[in-house]
Structures are given as C-alpha cells and as structure tokens.
Structure 1
C-alpha cells in the first residue's frame, strides 16, 4: 500500500493534467473497492451516500464528525487510490474547528478534503464573506505541512442564492487564503461554469448527477474544469436499482432483476482488489 505522501503526490499530479479526471464518490469500503477495480484514479467520500447507508437524512446534524471520519478511514483502508473527503462545514463555525477537522482527516490517511461555506441554518444559510474566508484560511494553514489537498466550496447555488459574481468572489478569496481546489456545486449552465473557471486561478471541481444537467466530460473539459465528482448520485442510483428489484418481486413475483446483477465471481475479484484486466474471462 502507498503511504499518504505518495498518494498526495499522485493526487496533486492529477490536478495538473491537461484533461480533467473523474473522481467518483463511494460510500463504504465495498463501493470503494468496486470503483478502484473499475479503473478510476482517485476517490472521494460522500456525506449523502453515508447518510443513506445509515438510514438518516443528509443534513448537517445527521452525521457526527467521528462517524464521518470512521467511514473515511474504512474507505482509505480499502483502496490504494488517493481519497478526498466531504468534510461538510468543518464541524463548527469557528476557524479553529475547521483546522482541527483537517488535522483529524489527515490522521485517517485522507489526502484531501473540502470545507464549505454553508452554515446549516435555513435562516442564514451561508457564512458572511469574511468569516467564510477566515475558516478557509485556518483550514489551509492546518493543511500546509500535511499531505493534504484542501478544496474550498462556495455553496450559494445549493441554498437558493444563484449569485455568480458573489460565488466567484468567494472562490477567489478562498484561493488567496490557501485553498488548492475550488468548488461551487449547483451551477446550472456550461456558460456559468466556463465563466467561473476563467475567473479563478486554481483547479475547479464540478459535481455531476445532482440535477438534470447532463454535461459530458468533454464539454466540462472545454469549459475549463479540472476535476469531476458525482456526490451522492452513485448512491442514489444504487438505491434506485434496489427499489426496482423490490418492486418487481412485490408486484410481479419475479426475480429477473438478478440477470443485471454483478456475477459473484466478479464481485469476489473486485473485493479482493483485482484491477479490471485481472477479472476478465
């Protein structure tokens, strides 16, 4: 298994390539092994996928920091790929909370993670500009001497504030504060994504699968995107397959869903850490 420093170097190198890379989001060790076997080059945790697996809503109050980091540690242990984490709001309003979360995350073997500027308070959903920047600065200072890539998220679009100018200004300030990757989930058009990428000086992450937007990797590359994640959408797709199978059994009394299931031998190979070329035939 690679050590965190080597994984960190690989992760940083992915962000310097000419073409974007897709970083899918497993929600447990098994899905991490599957996605590793499929040939992806890096993984990221998903708080939404973890929440669904635990049977709770995806919300700030649903998953304690310790639970999220235990899940991240299991994913890290299941793969030799670099793993980044959704660290939500840093688990506390104070900059010191964000810094401590970064240090704790690095202690699990994670080599990256995101801090967002959403508060979890519906009446004041986004941290004021200065406070948001202070939080990112503290996280960046904590990450500086660690093998850790800090991503800073501007959450305006997810909380009914589709203000592109403010979103760009926040990401520019987050970059100046030390963030290495910038992220504004929920942008609605390629034009918005293209404008954002042109106005910032760090790699940009875009999440797909959250809405009806179905931009391709090639389209996002043309817009200037460096990294593409899928958030909780793989988890929701997996649960949709379970729902379809259950509906067939309950409504039709048949079991044809099993024809589309991954064969046992392939599951065994992937759970043993086999790469795609090792599990054919």
Structure 2
C-alpha cells in the first residue's frame, strides 16, 4: 500500500485518528517516537516560528520547506496549507504537487479568510477539485470556518456538501464541539468528519462514539510548548523549581538523523 492509501485507511478505522500537529523537525520526531503514525503541521506554529502572521497567505515558502524537512520521516504527513496561499485554483494545485513530491500524504485547505469572511463556496470547491485533478491520491481535508466566524453556522452543511462533491476526502469543522450537533452532522456526510480537539469539549473517545473519524490538535501543542518555555524561564527567575518533564540534551540530539547516540552527550 502507498502512503496515501494507508493515510486514507486511518480515517476509516474503528477509532478516530488522533492527529497531533508539529511545527518543526524536533516536534514531529518526538511525536513519532511516541507512536503517532500520522502527524500534521500547524499553520500557526509554522508562521509564528518564522515571525509571520498566520492565515494571511504569507507562509507558502515556509510551509513547503517544512514539508520537505518532514516528508521523509517515519510517519505519514498532512500539511496545513491555509487556503492554498492563492485564490487561483491552478496555483493551489501546483502547491499540492510540490507537497506531494515532498512526501506529504495529505493537505488541509480552509475557507476562512484573514478579514473574517469565508471564501466563496464555489471558489473553495474549485480549489479542491483542482488539487484532486492534479494529485488524485493526495488526501484532501476540506475545512470550513463557519463555526469560528460570527453568524454563518447555517452554511456549514451546504459548504461541506459542496466540498465533498468537489472531491474532498474528509471535511473539517473547527469550533464545533456540541455533541448533538456533531452526531447530526455525521449523518449527513459521505466522507469522514474531522473535529478540532478542545480541552473543554468531548474526549477523543466520546468524539469517536459520535462518529468522528479524525481529531486534530491544531496549534494546541505549539501553544502549550511556548507557554511551558515561558513558565520555565519565569520560574527560574523567581527561584522556583522548573515544573514538568524536560528532555535531556542527549534525548533531543537523538531526534536528529545521523547522530551517533554515543556522541549525543
């Protein structure tokens, strides 16, 4: 089986695919070391690490570079590509070709825009169709931001229907956490549903029982790591012990390919 087919199969298992999101080589390698078979990227982490804004089509180069760094890792890779960094379907399709060539098994395409509006449904569907025509095996996770923006939640079903008709392999509704609404939405879909995990929302097991087949962590791990780093620095400044588990120098070195464990000390 190809990476594409294996990745697709993970969305049709008895339990939902829990997809953690990395922002660099070390975070991806550390997650893979814990047995995660598939790892996504986080657009916020990718952008923030480069000092660029998220969601404003500013990180095409950084996203592709990260995919090239991670594409040959011991895990299946799904890349968060915002809205494809273009409103021209052909340009989005070209990006998809480059990501697939870099080793990505999947791509995440969102319809939310930086100004708080949604991409016209026909345009986002055209992006999806162009990607599937250019790279038929690449797994397309089509995201709608109707539950993250004010007012348009009634558009959710219409948009998801258009996206799955355009060829999306999975649909993603971040911000949706109500169990009743999730269960009702699952019944209307022909493709798997992806939900963004929320610490205040249903557990992964509960989401699986509702019919959700993929649970993403989004930027949560990146934000948690950033917070932990700042907390450690302020604890030290205040003469308090550093909380939490800290990997050793050697353990981090061993995440990097080509490092002799005997020299990583």
TM-score, normalising length from structure 2? 0.90
For the 8 Å contact 1:27–1:49, the answer to whether it is kept is yes
Query: Matched residues in 2 for 1:181 and 1:203: separation?
Result: 5
Match of 1:160 in 2: 150
For the 8 Å contact 1:205–1:229, the answer to whether it is kept is yes
The 3 A distance-change label for structure 1 pair 35 and 175 is same
Superposition pairs of residues 22-33 of structure 1, within 5 angstroms = 22-33=18-29
Dislocated runs of 4+, deviation >4 Å: 268-273
Match of 2:122 in 1: 130
Match of 2:164 in 1: 175
Q: 1:148 aligns with which of 120, 135, 138?
A: 138
Match of 1:114 in 2: 108
For the 8 Å contact 1:51–1:57, the answer to whether it is kept is yes
Does 2:94 align with 1:66?
no
Length, aligned pairs only: 259
Match of 1:262 in 2: 247
Match of 1:85 in 2: 79
Does 2:211 align with 1:189?
no
Q: CA deviation at 1:118?
A: 2.0
Q: What runs of 5+ residues in structure 1 fail to find an aligned partner?
A: 274-281
Query: Matched residues in 2 for 1:162 and 1:130: separation?
Result: 16
Query: Matched residues in 2 for 1:141 and 1:178: separation?
Result: 9
Q: CA deviation at 1:143?
A: 2.3
For the 8 Å contact 1:143–1:150, the answer to whether it is kept is no
Query: Matched residues in 1 for 2:183 and 2:110: separation?
Result: 21
Give per-residue Cα distances to partners, 1:169-214, cap 9 Å, x unaligned: 11111111111111111113122221221111101111114xx533
Give per-residue Cα distances to partners, 1:112-148, cap 9 Å, x unaligned: 10111123334xx11222222222222222221xx41
Question: SS at 2:195's partner residue?
Answer: strand
For the 8 Å contact 2:194–2:213, the answer to whether it is kept is yes
Q: What runs of 5+ residues in structure 2 fail to find an aligned partner?
A: 259-265
Give per-residue Cα distances to partners, 1:213-247, cap 9 Å, x unaligned: 33211110011111111011100000111111111
Q: Could you say which structure has the higher helix fraction? A: 1
Query: Matched residues in 2 for 1:62 and 1:135: separation?
Result: 18
Query: Matched residues in 2 for 1:271 and 1:237: separation?
Result: 22
Q: CA deviation at 1:89?
A: 0.6
For the 8 Å contact 2:46–2:62, the answer to whether it is kept is no
For the 8 Å contact 1:172–1:200, the answer to whether it is kept is yes
